[in-house]
Every structure is written in structure tokens, then in C-alpha cells.
Structure 1
Amino acid sequence: MSSVPLATGAPENSISDLITRIRSGGRQSLGELLQIYRNYLNVLATTQLDARLRRRMSTSDLVQETMLAAHRDFDQFRGHSEGELLAWLRQILSHHLSHAMERNVYAKKRDIRREVSLDRVAKRIDDSIAGLSNLIPDPMATPSEIVSRRELAAELSDQLAKLKPSYHDVIVYRNLQGCSFDEIAKKMDIKSGAARMLWLRAIAKFKEVCDINVSGGSP
């Protein structure tokens, strides 16, 4: 998978050039840059919102808050590469997720042991990225190299968004949230055996979409 393109389908230097242009006064391009990573943020947010939070806010709300904060505070971003930008966006997402949990879940609980740690939230997000990257393993890369390639996770998020909703959801539940097939069956209102078969078809389709993307065709 070393030939997988970045989330934009453009070379890394295109992202760097866009960042430079924005810093040079092309602020109107900032929305375009951030929009590239909406699918990536959406997948991460989906894996982190538990049942308690979903009753109070949606994934789209969390992603929108993250995008707005990134747009407002872009002057604080000191990086130049796509990898640095992804790390910055993850930090913003984990910050908003942490505060959402404190505000909506633990607001009436004073027990300090239940306070949300940004480090713990960030660790869960990193685990989700690793899970996403491992869906399409690179036989030429070590596990640590796979995890460190954040750009790959962004690209896979875009490919995941191309799947039909049932395929997208079952992959998120199984591979990113670690749900059992019984749990998936309850979430999707199907039988456990059907959940397993749906997941197998979804993974096969996901790999097909990624292979087509790498070869330059259209799914």
C-alpha cells in the first residue's frame, strides 16, 4: 500500500503548498483545505462517541465544532506537512470530545477519578487510526510504520465514505469500535449470522474500492 495516494488524491507537496498559500494571505482556501479531512474526522468521531454522548450530540456536531475551531485558530498551527496538520486536527477533536464528555456526561459528578483525560481521549483516537490503517495492511511495512502513517488513515476514511451505509456502519462497528457480531446485530436489527456475512461482504468491497483507487480507476 505504499503507493496509496493521500486524502486529497494529490502529492504531499500540494498540501504543503496549500498551507503556505493560506499563510500568505489566501485565507479563502482554508475552508477547502479543512474540507479535505471531513471524512477522516467523521470516522474518528464516530468511533469515540459512546451511547451516553450520542443521546446528547451527534457525530456531525462534534466534527463541525472541530472544523470551526480549526478555522478560527489556524494561525496557531505551526506545521507544514499533511501529517502535522492531521495531528493538529486530532488534538482539536480530542479537546472537544473531552469537554463534551465533561459537559454532558460528568457534569453532575464531582468524583475526580471520573474526570476525562485528554491524553486518554487522544490514545483512543490513535487506536482508532491504527484500526483503520490495519484494514488494508502493507506487507512491506512494520506495524509501527503502519500506525505512524496518519496520511493512510485519512485516505482510508475517504474510501470508507464511498461504501453504502450498511457496509460503512458494519466496518466501523466491527473494526473500529470492536463490537461483537451479536452487538452489531442488535445495533443493525439483524441476526448475528447476517451481521457476520454483511461484514465479510463489506470488507471485500472496501478492499476492492481501495485497490481500484490505487490503480487509478474509479469505483
Structure 2
Amino acid sequence: MRRVLSGQGSRRASSRSKITPKRVQRKGDGLPVVRRGDTIIAENTRPGSAPMGSFAQTLQSCRDGDLAARETLFSQWRPLLWLQARRLLGGNSDRKVDANDVVQEALTQAFRDLKQFRGSTEGEWVAWLRKLVQGQASKLRRHHSALQRDADRETPLDETCPVDGQPDPLTADIQRERAARLAQAIAELPEAMREVVVRRVFEQQPFEEVARDLDRSPGATRVLWTRAIRQLRATLQGAGPDASSSA
């Protein structure tokens, strides 16, 4: 005759760990991730790669404690936020580290203050995250007194590809998705290529200055720039980075 075991096993099965925000950590590519214990909450994920239904549904699931929904909300915009932080901190001698710090603090703040988000659309969500990044960047710039405030650096990334007139909601969604995919593609570049693109496009540095900062010759820097643009074009067209080597 079998014995029916009860007690400790059932108690263990019914126990649940509390969901509490943890410190932000970095991953191998130098861009930040957000973790809850050993679980990654915001990682480097392609925009739209993990559909969760409508944004409102995903937001509600996140507020209900769904970790997959939380990762979807945070992860796909991380490269875009990183580029924004790099541009805002363009005058800092230690920009890469400080940009990561800004994004880390902004994502941690967003995770902690999620109940304070009053929007209902993806556009409002992205605007809220960018506002947090801008606030963290301003705080860091105040901390580094040598940095000067530059209002021009606070131009939204979307304005790097302006359109005529005020975009309708669908156009705004397309622009936002395009900006996110561009940021993701830049984040996937090898480090040297990524630095050239960020410095040339978003920080408006001349080739000579970029070459000096990267300890390369101007000619080598231009070659690196050409390869980076070719790889970005191949990635954004869906051909993958290997396609650029045959061009």
C-alpha cells in the first residue's frame, strides 16, 4: 500500500519568492541590463521580437508581476536610450561609462516607479523612459561640474530623421520603431565601428577628431566608417552583417 506524502513538499511547492528590484548590472557588450536576482529583466532584445499583445495588455501584465512582460517593456528600448545618453554626455571624457550609468539609473528608476507611469500608449512609455534618461543625465552633469549644459544635445533621436509636418499616430509609431531598430543595429556593431558611428552621426565629430580619440589614422577611420555604414545597411535590410563582406 502506498503512503501519501504531504507537509513539507506541498509547502515548498506553494512558496513564492517576492519580486523586488535589484541593482542594475552590465552585460558583455558594455550596455546595461536590469536584473531581479538571477533573472534578467531588461536585456538587449530586438524591437518587436517578443510580442505580448497590445501595449496596454503588456503594461498591465507587467504591473501584475509578469517578468516576460516586464522584459518586453524595458529591453527593446535600451539601445535607443543608450544612444540618447551618449549624445547628452558627449562632452564628458569618460562618456561610455557615464552613458551606461545614466541608462542603468533610468531603468532602475522606471522599474521602481512603474506605478507612477500614467500613460496608456507605447509612445507615452518611450517618452517617459527618455525623460528619465534626460533627468539622470542632467543629474550626472551637475555632479561633473566641468561639463556644460548643452540644450542642443537634448534633441530627440527621432529628429535625426525629420519628416514634414506633425506626424499622425501611425507615422509616429513607424518613426519610433525605425529609431529603435537603428539603435539596435548600431549596438550590434563591433565596438570600434560603433564608436565611429556614434561620434560621427550623433556627436558630430569630424574624422580627424574621431581618429585622434580612437588612436587611429584619419584614413583608417574613414575605412572603418565605410564598413560600419555598409554593415548597418545590410542589417537594416534584413540581409545580416555577413552580407556586407561580399559587397
TM-score interval for Structure 1 and Structure 2 normalised by the shorter chain: 0.7 to 0.9
The answer to whether the Cα contact below 8 Å between 1:53 and 1:105 also exists between their aligned partners in 2 is no
Per the normalisation by structure 1, the TM-score is 0.73
Q: Is 2:197 the partner of 1:175? A: no
Gaps of 5+ in 2: 1-45, 243-247
Q: Which has the higher helix share?
A: 1
Counterpart AA for 1:49: L
The answer to whether the Cα contact below 8 Å between 2:55 and 2:121 also exists between their aligned partners in 1 is yes
Post-superposition offset of 1:188: 1.3
Post-superposition offset of 1:20: 2.5
Residue of structure 1 in register with 2:191 after alignment: 165
Post-superposition offset of 1:180: 0.3
Q: Is 2:179 the partner of 1:153? A: yes
Superposition pairs for residues 114-129 of structure 1, below 5 Å? 116=149, 120=151, 124-129=153-158
Q: Is 2:125 the partner of 1:85? A: yes
Per the normalisation by structure 2, the TM-score is 0.66
Distance of 2:157 and 2:112 partners within structure 1: 26
Counterpart AA for 1:84: E
SS of equivalent to 1:105:
coil
Q: Is 2:121 the partner of 1:95? A: no
Distance of 1:201 and 1:26 partners within structure 2: 43
Q: Is 2:205 the partner of 1:205? A: no
Counterpart AA for 1:102: R
Q: Is 2:217 the partner of 1:191? A: yes
Post-superposition offset of 1:207: 0.8
The verdict on how the C-alpha distance between 1:75 and 1:61 changes in structure 2, with shifts beyond 3 A counting, is same
Distance of 2:221 and 2:100 partners within structure 1: 25
Distance of 2:89 and 2:104 partners within structure 1: 14
Residue of structure 2 in register with 1:3 after alignment: none
Residue of structure 2 in register with 1:111 after alignment: none
Post-superposition offset of 1:154: 1.4
Post-superposition offset of 1:12: 8.9
The verdict on how the C-alpha distance between 1:168 and 1:44 changes in structure 2, with shifts beyond 3 A counting, is same
After superposing on structure 2, the runs of 4+ consecutive aligned residues of structure 1 that deviate more than 6 Å are none
SS of equivalent to 2:237:
helix
Larger RCO, structures 1/2 (Cα 8 Å, 6+ apart): 1
Gaps of 5+ in 1: 1-5, 108-113, 135-140
SS of equivalent to 1:99:
helix
Distance of 1:12 and 1:152 partners within structure 2: 19
Post-superposition offset of 1:9: 3.2
Q: Is 2:119 the partner of 1:64? A: no
Distance of 2:117 and 2:93 partners within structure 1: 29
Counterpart AA for 1:130: E
Distance of 2:207 and 2:241 partners within structure 1: 31
**Residue 130 of structure 1: which of 159, 176, 195 is its match?**
159
Residue of structure 1 in register with 2:74 after alignment: 34
Query: Which stretch of structure 1 is more off in the superposition, 63-72 or 196-205?
Result: 196-205
Query: Which stretch of structure 1 is more off in the superposition, 198-207 or 12-21?
Result: 12-21
Post-superposition offset of 1:8: 2.5
Distance of 1:45 and 1:61 partners within structure 2: 9
Superposition pairs for residues 48-59 of structure 1, below 5 Å? 48-52=88-92, 54=94, 58-59=98-99
* RMSD, aligned α-carbons: 3.2
SS of equivalent to 1:58:
helix
